[in-house]
Structure 1
């Protein structure tokens, strides 16, 4: 059943360009637009799940998370850098462009397309690690959140189990904050996916937003409460 939801990452055109959204209005803004004084930046970097294929920009889960941030009065700008059809290799090639401006929180949601295509996990692991290394080089103080993904056992139970464990291993190795499974409660549920059966509906994105927010909220509040460096 999970293959239906995970296929969302790979079924839309790869010609989309990275889009950015403000948390409050979901208006598209350049990913490298300088933040205003004192404003922090949360960047979502992923595939069509992040890009919100088939729904309005303000219905995709990054924008919904932005609304939750605004409701608490936290001074963060949410940037949606999702790209439909993206693999970890593609993400590795464009992450440097996206990070020409520093970020405070980087949410990494990639790998689903790799798993569906049966790509070697060594390559997926290497690409994810390279993205993480680039983030830490470009934004040394950024908190990195890794969105866990799972795939059905179509390619074998061992491959599926190793794919799931890959996210836990990378998170532990790099001391990242882990979202255990981004599609929890949505994957494979036709009621929460569009007529094609693979892309989340607005209701599905609301559940994704809750999955992300349960992990992201304490992190953001801790950042706000932390004293300035050197204080």
Structure 2
């Protein structure tokens, strides 16, 4: 009788264990048009492709598209509080591109991103900070100040860090990378998004497995 009870208990615990590992993770993709999927049909955008890629790797993740085209870090700081709804476990932060396009003072960008990360910390949400690099034509002082924002803040908050959103596009060779962009030269095409996710995906898995 005792042995039978032990077997039943072991079965119950095994079922609970499977249920726990299969529990869906809620991931907030918080960014601008790069996250929103600007210029692409819905299934080709960053969020749907990321969700499908994660599923193919065996991870059940609900990816919430919190990308707003044209948004700056100031806009992100203004909406982060209500974007972090109670079910959110983790967040990918990809903001700053529109700050660059507008030439916003890097100190302002840093302060806004600090606000976003502080809010995530207060909500107990794990974060993957995805950086951007300023172009050389902004001058060395601007570039140095801007490029340092993302690694500095990731270290301050103990967040995961990926240096560049475009790492998967061969960005060191502009001629090579051009084929992965839409005609505007700013937003990736569907194939570009696929390559971005292949490069970024392992970092996202590290984020969500920590969240699990």
State if a TM-score over 0.5 links the two structures. Answer: yes
Could you tell me which of 173, 177, 182 is aligned with 2:156?
173
Task: Please identify the structure whose Cα radius of gyration is greater.
Answer: 2
* Structure 1 equivalent of residue 66 of structure 2: 81
Normalising by structure 1, report the TM-score. Answer: 0.75
Query: Cα distance, 1:198 vs. partner?
Result: 2.2
Secondary structure, aligned partner of 2:70: coil
Secondary structure, aligned partner of 2:78: helix
Structure 1 residues 122-164: Cα deviation after superposition (integer angstroms, max 9, x where no partner) = 1111110111111222x21x21110110121222122112211
1:144 maps to 2:112: no
1:160 maps to 2:148: no
Query: Cα distance, 1:58 vs. partner?
Result: 1.8
Structure 1 residues 26-64: Cα deviation after superposition (integer angstroms, max 9, x where no partner) = xxxxxxxxxxx9432011000010011011222122222
Query: Cα distance, 1:168 vs. partner?
Result: 0.8
Cα distance between partner residues in 2 of 1:101 and 1:120:
33
Tell me, which stretches of 5 or more residues in structure 2 are unaligned?
A: 1-21
Give the CA RMSD over aligned residues: 1.8
Could you tell me which of 179, 188, 191 is aligned with 1:203?
191
Q: 1:211/1:76 Cα in 2 relative to 1: closer, same or farther (>3 Å)?
A: same
Matches within 5 A, 1:46-195: 46-137=31-122, 139-140=123-124, 142-186=125-169, 187=171, 188=174, 189-195=177-183
Runs of 4 or more, structure 1, over 6 Å off, are none
* Contact map agreement 1:96 1:134 (CA 8 A) in 2: yes
The structure in which a higher percent of residues are helix is 2
Paired positions, count: 186
